[in-house]
Structures are given as structure tokens and as C-alpha cells.
Amino acid sequence: MFRLSEIVSKPVISLYEARREGIVVGCIFDAKMSRLMALAVECEDETDAGKKRLDLKNIYKHDSDAVVVKNSAVLRFCDKAIGGCPIGLIAYDHEGTVLGTIDDIGIDVRGKVLWISCNGVNLECTRLVSRSDKLVIFCGAGKPPKLTSPRSKRVATKRIEAALAKAETAGGQIRLHAQVSRTPPPKDSKMRNYDFLVSKIVERDIVSSIGEVIALEGDVITDAIIDLARNDHKLVQLALYCR
């Protein structure tokens, strides 16, 4: 086991290039903050400035004065914004009580989060309700409410507007199409056998094996989401957690 505070702010050095690549300035967790997926490294070279992603599996050593990688190729730019470090964020429970400040996170060698320390008290990561770059919210004494993404409401509104646009007007009355089934895909379509998932609602975040979001809770499943899930072998998980 190691503590996140033992890694943040350490330099990253590469063995092959014998070079200091940058400083660890942040981290990338999965959607539930139950596993550390990668570190964010601020590059120091002016010709290669910016943050890079260093996956946990590509770290050779980290238990001394520096984080060691075999070569600089394992550091790669990320298209998405890389988050900062949760240490120092204020924590609340879901009823609005201040719990204190996140001061450390315990992680095992495979990246699993063992505990989150708040003012010296270790909290289980299963108590986490939600998080952002500003706050961390844990479950309090009572049962927290079920949270849904506001995106699902926007998508539902768009679907209603689309249905109204396709409505037929007859005798001064509006008649909406009641049919909701999809036309089966062609035989050579990648969607075959999984088209039944389209238009269903995702009940929990689906994350790829490298920590990238495939679908968020409340999202309406589309052909694109199914393709992303298929490419990362997450179709079964997507089918299990939808309604």
C-alpha cells in the first residue's frame, strides 16, 4: 500500500533517456473514485509543455525520491482535461455537514482505493456520493437521494420535440406516432444483436479499461455508446446497468 501524498509533487524520471520528465501534479480516478487509473504529469521541457497522462501500470518504481518510468514513451498527451489532486478539497456529507479536508488517500499496488482520509479519519470509498474538482461529498447518517444526470432530462425533452415534429395533423388534431421499436440493422452492421439497448437509460457510469467515460448515469444509449462499449468489451456491463 502507498499514500497518494507520497507521490504527488515527486519528479518523474525516465531511465532510457536519463531525463527528468516533469512533476506529478494530479491524478485520474475512475468514475466512483474507487481506483487510481493514472497520474497527471506537468512537463518541464518548454518544447513539450503541458500535462501528460502516466498510467499506473507503466510506473516502474515510485517508493523512493522519484517516480521512475522505463522511457518517456509511456507519457502521453490526453485529449481530455486532466484533473488535479483531491488532497486539500473540502468534504461534506450529503446532508450538508462539513466533514473537513481530504488529507490523504490510501491505495494498494493495483491502484484500488482502500480509504480516503478526512481530517485524519479514514472513510471507505464506498461512502462516496459524488465529487468534482472543488468538493467531495460522502454519504451521511441517512440514505442519500438517488442522483440522475441533468443530461437525461435534456435528452428526453429533445425526444419529445422530435416526436412532435414528426406528428401528423389530421382534422385539426395532432396524432403522435406510437411506434417505439427500431428497424433491425443490416446483417453487416456492428449493432446487430445489441440494438435492443438503444434508447434505454444508463443506471450507472460505464468506464473503459483506461478510465475514459463510455456513458454516464442518466445517458440515453445511442449507437455511438454501443460502439464504444463494444470496442472496450463493456457491452455486457452496459446491458446489465440500463433500464
Residue with cell string 467531495: 136
Look at residue 2 and tell me whether its pLDDT is greater than 50.
yes
Coil, strand or helix at 187: coil
pTM for the whole thing?
0.55
Gyration radius from the chain CA atoms: 23
- pLDDT attached to residue 79: 58
- pLDDT attached to residue 1: 85
d(CA 13, CA 218): 41
Instruction: Assess contact for 141 and 95: CB atoms under 8 A.
Output: yes
Instruction: Assess contact for 74 and 210: CB atoms under 8 A.
Output: no
Pick from 81-85, 164-168, 221-225 the range whose average pLDDT is largest: 221-225
Residue count of the chain: 243
State which fold the 2-77 domain adopts: SH3 type barrels. (2.30.30)
- The fraction of the chain above a pLDDT of 70, given in percent, is 77
Domain boundaries in the chain? 2-77, 90-138, 150-240
Task: Convert the pLDDT of each residue in 77-124 to its tens digit.
Answer: 875 656 678 889 999 999 999 999 999 999 998 899 999 999 999 999
d(CA 91, CA 120): 13
Q: What is the mean pLDDT of residues 61-86?
A: 84
d(CA 121, CA 100): 10
d(CA 118, CA 103): 6
The candidate with the shortest Cα–Cα distance to 22, out of 65, 55, 66, 87, is 66
Element spanning 163, H or E? helix 150-165
User: How far from 193 is each of 24, 106, 240, CA to CA, in Å?
Assistant: 44, 42, 15
